[in-house]
Structure 1
Amino acid sequence: MSLDKLKQVIDSSDNIVFFGGAGVSTESNIPDFRSADGLYNEKTKSRYRPEEILSHSFFVSHTGEFYDFYRSKMIYLDAKPNDAHIALAKLEQRGKLKAVITQNIDGLHQMAGSKEVLELHGSVHRNYCMSCGKFYPVEAVVSSKGIPRCTGCNGIIKPDVVLYEESLNSYVLEKSAEYITKAEVLIVGGTSLTVYPAAGLVQYFRGKHLVLINKSPTPYDSQADILIKDRIGETLKKVVS
């Protein structure tokens, strides 16, 4: 019944916004963070917890060890868009979906064809020299040994991803809030809505239909107009032909 209602809502609206988290990419075999099989529950060779390694202070004080972890656990260049990414790109092409707001850093939405993608936590595909600002693609980080250095000034290259202790990009955050405020339908998928400030964006929604698609409970379940506890890719594939 929920699927029928979701299909009806999507078919009748041309002002949809999608807000997604790590669960959108798990169907592309990219692990999430907090589930039983997630990154934070993996055993690592390091004496540091993943949450510590992915912090700004650790990046500054243990840059080499940060990159050892980052290359092996955060970059998945072989990953391909799944049914969720493909369905959302189709909705945008049909003029129904106004924007994708994502907590993911893998670039799979763009690979699927989505154009208006707001990346709250940055992207592994953008990297820059901390000294001169020169841009580097992800391949430069993957192919480097130890700490990647700028070919121009020998400065340290940093991924354009938001680490713990760092602020989200204010423009991306404000633009995301603007899209959600104006949306008629907000589809939230693959996120537990526990990571702030990103999770707080849902509070800006004033539209008709709040749709939550997530396998585990979220703090907003009771507020959802449509609640589906299933895989996001399988769900969207069924309602977007």
Structure 2
Amino acid sequence: MNASHADKLAELRTILDASDNIVFFGGAGVSTESNIPDFRSAGGLFSERVGKRELSPEEILSHTFFMQHTEEFYDFYKNKMIYKDAKPNPAHLALARLEQAGKLKAVITQNIDGLHQQAGSREVLELHGSVHRNYCMSCGQFFPLDAVLESAGVPKCSRCGGIVKPDVVLYEESLDTGVLEKARRYIEQADVLIVAGTSLRVYPAAGLIQFFRGKHLVLINKSPTPYDHAASLVIHDSIGKTLKACLT
């Protein structure tokens, strides 16, 4: 570890120690450390053959594809988007500890895996929904993840026979305005905003950063983002390793 990196960790430790109004905003990079791939990254998922066609994950995970090719959607979704055995990594655990200490007010996440809650975080705003919530499109009956995974083909409602849809935001669908508004309020009121594991290029989620008016914008990401110039502290390293080092 070079001196400049050690200095950055020391600065982050000082920032965390001094604040009791921290908000964390995280993307796919938080979960890649739990071995959940980010299909937008170089090591993620590329095109997928569906019948005779080569489709991108973005095409398969669209509302149109879900409605028109539901069985193919679920084949991809169950095999490539669900990581039931994934466990919280040091980043998830560190954030849960910060919340328990009364310092972290909320986790805002673009991830759909539920690992923040599994780690113990209570105030988690899921911008893109969760694989753990699934609803019948006809009657609204709730189904857990296992009901989707154990179904043959397209999961159907045990009550009315309707198609069960994951409570995740697909491409072409809008984010929940209530969740977005709550996230905006947390960011507006925060003293410290930690943004990690996201390219900050996917809107409208990335646009939330503009509402921050606090003292310290901290970016933790392995690659540069469009907001690096505006941050008070930028650390290009593992999120889990960084947060763990600052809390020990």
Shorter-normalised TM-score: what interval? over 0.9
Where structure 1 has 5 or more consecutive residues not aligned to the other structure, the ranges are none
- In structure 1, the residue matched to 2:158 is 151
Contact 2:39 2:57 in 1 (8 A): no
By how many angstroms is 1:72 displaced? 0.4
| Alignment match, 2:94 | 87
In 2, Cα distance between the equivalents of 1:192 and 1:44? Answer: 23
SS in 2 for 1:133: coil
Aligned-partner residue type, residue 199 of structure 1: A
> Would you identify which runs of 4 or more consecutive aligned residues in structure 1 move more than 4 Å?
none
Amino acid at match of 1:82: N
| Whole-angstrom distance in 1 between the partners of 2:34 and 2:182 | 27
> 2:48 is matched with which residue: 44, 47, 51?
44
Alignment of 1:175-186 (within 5 A): 175-186=182-193
Deviation at 1:146, TM superposition (A): 0.8
Counterpart of 1:21 in structure 2 is 27
In structure 2, the partner of 1:61 is 68
Q: Is the CA contact 2:36–2:86 (under 8 Å) kept in the aligned structure 1? A: yes
- Residue of structure 1 equivalent to 2:17: 11
Report what 1:125 is aligned to.
132
CA contact (8 A) 2:91 2:241 kept: yes
Does residue 137 (structure 1) correspond to residue 141 (structure 2)? The answer is no
Distance 1:190 1:49 in 2: 22
Distance of 1:104 and 1:73 partners within structure 2? 14
1:44 Cα deviation after fit: 2.6
SS at match of 2:33: helix
Q: In the aligned structure 2, how far is the partner of 1:15 from the partner of 1:185?
A: 6
Q: Following TM superposition, by how much is the alpha carbon of 1:202 offset from its aligned partner in structure 2, in angstroms?
A: 0.4
Equivalent of residue 196 in structure 1, options 176, 200, 203: 203
Ranges in structure 2 where 5+ consecutive residues have no aligned partner? 1-6
How far did 1:49 drift?
Answer: 1.7
Question: Is 2:116 aligned against 1:109?
Answer: yes
Give the paired residue count. 239
TM-score by length of 2: 0.95
* Partner Cα distance (1:199, 1:232) in 2: 18
TM-score (norm 1): 0.98
Percent identity between matched residues is 72
Q: Aligned partners of 1:88, 1:215: CA distance in 2, in Å?
A: 19
- Once the two structures are superposed, what CA deviation does each residue of 1:152-197 show, in whole Å capped at 9, x if it has no partner? 0000000000000000001100000000000000000000001000
Post-superposition offset of 1:45: 3.0
Secondary structure of the residue aligned to 1:29 is coil
Q: Deviations over 1:74-127 (max 9, x none)?
A: 110000000000000000000000000000000000000000000000000000
CA RMSD in angstroms, aligned pairs only: 0.7
- In structure 2, the partner of 1:70 is 77
How far apart in 2 are the matches of 1:161 and 1:208? Answer: 33
Question: Alignment partner of 1:45: what SS?
Answer: strand
- Cα-to-partner distance string for 1:114-145 (whole Å, 9 max, x where unaligned): 00000000000000000000000000000001
Amino acid at match of 1:4: A
Q: How far apart are 1:240 and its partner, in Å?
A: 1.3
